[in-house]
Amino acid sequence: MGRRMKITEHLLQLSGVQYETNSNIYAIQYDGGVILIDCGYRTEQWERMTAQMKEWGMDPGEITHVFLTHSHFDHAGNVWRINELGAKVHASPVDADRVENGNPEMEELFGAPWTCGKVDVLLREGERFSFPGGVKLDVLETPGHSSGSLTYRIQVDGKTALCTGDMFFVTPRAPLDAVDVELGYMGSRDFSMESFLHSLKRLEKENFDLLLPGHYYFYGGENAARLFGMAIEKAEKGAR
């Protein structure tokens, strides 16, 4: 099993390159269960994620909530498995529609059939969820990578973390002077450079301690906000 990825006492990374799986899945433990950010795809990722949970002393049956950053295959393909566990799935309305009614663009892109799932709660800008034990989660609409892409601002263990999905990734790992950013996939049918830049500029103003992207490494170093500036610069170059 890969290197353990405990980010703070109650915030963990369960999936991603460290575990030789595609997308990142983050878990937040609160007094009452476990919240997941995204849920990956395919059986292999599911098995590695649940094995990692067990290694941390958690049971998949403790998952109560899943918040999707967006409905691309690698982030939302396992929603139907979450449904089987009985946890509540949260997504933007446009992503909920794809999860529930079919995702042909993703079937084409990934060459695999989409198994429809159910979304329990539709999310809108500004909604706040509070969980026992002092965990808070805010919903920010940040379209661009896809039209329904959401960012979650999470307060846990005295830290503020931003889960930004596939806007951009941090690579390679810290220290900051060696860090670069890589913009996420821009080939979606509903990609919008204008919205993407707008979302990046909005998030650049956020105060946060930890950046938790949808792939590769999380970042918790000083001046994390600078990463948004780096992404904006790359996006503006690409847009010209």
**Closest chain position to Zn ion (CB):** 72
Task: Name which of 68 and 82 has its Cβ closer to Zn ion.
Answer: 68
Scanning 24-32, 45-53, 70-78, 123-131 for contacts with Zn ion by CB under 5 A, the matching segment is: 70-78
Binding mask 174-203 for Zn ion (x = CB under 5 A): ------------------------------
95 near Zn ion (CB under 5 A):
no
Least separation in angstroms between residue 98's CB and Zn ion is 12
Residues 149/165, Cβ–Cβ less than 8 Å: yes
CA angle 64, 70, 75 (to 5 degrees): 70
Least separation in angstroms between residue 102's CB and Zn ion is 17
Residue-by-residue DSSP string for 50-97? HHHHHHTT--GGGEEEEE-S---HHHHTTHHHHHHHTPEEEE-HHHHH
Task: Name which of 105 and 166 has its Cβ closer to Zn ion.
Answer: 166
Contacts of 13 (CB under 8 A, 6+ apart): 5, 6, 7, 24, 25, 26, 27, 212, 218
DSSP 205: T
72 near Zn ion (CB under 5 A):
yes
Task: Name which of 160 and 192 has its Cβ closer to Zn ion.
Answer: 192
Number of residues interacting with Zn ion: please give it, by CB under 5 A: 2
Residue 64: which of 93, 89, 95 has the closest Cα? 89
Least separation in angstroms between residue 68's CB and Zn ion is 11
Least separation in angstroms between residue 54's CB and Zn ion is 28
DSSP 179: -
Task: Name which of 72 and 153 has its Cβ closer to Zn ion.
Answer: 72
Start-to-end Cα distance in the chain? 44
Task: Name which of 30 and 168 has its Cβ closer to Zn ion.
Answer: 168
Least separation in angstroms between residue 75's CB and Zn ion is 6
Distance of CA 32 to the CA centre of its chain: 21
Contacts of 146 (CB under 8 A, 6+ apart): 70, 71, 72, 94, 95, 166, 188, 190, 191
- Contact positions with Zn ion (CB under 5 A) in 14-53: none
Residue 150 CA to residue 46 CA, distance in Å, equals 22
- Contact positions with Zn ion (CB under 5 A) in 134-173: 166
Which residues does residue 167 pair with via DSSP β-bridges, in sequence order? none
Least separation in angstroms between residue 73's CB and Zn ion is 8
Task: Name which of 135 and 162 has its Cβ closer to Zn ion.
Answer: 162
User: Which residues form the interface with Zn ion (CB under 5 A)?
Assistant: 72, 166
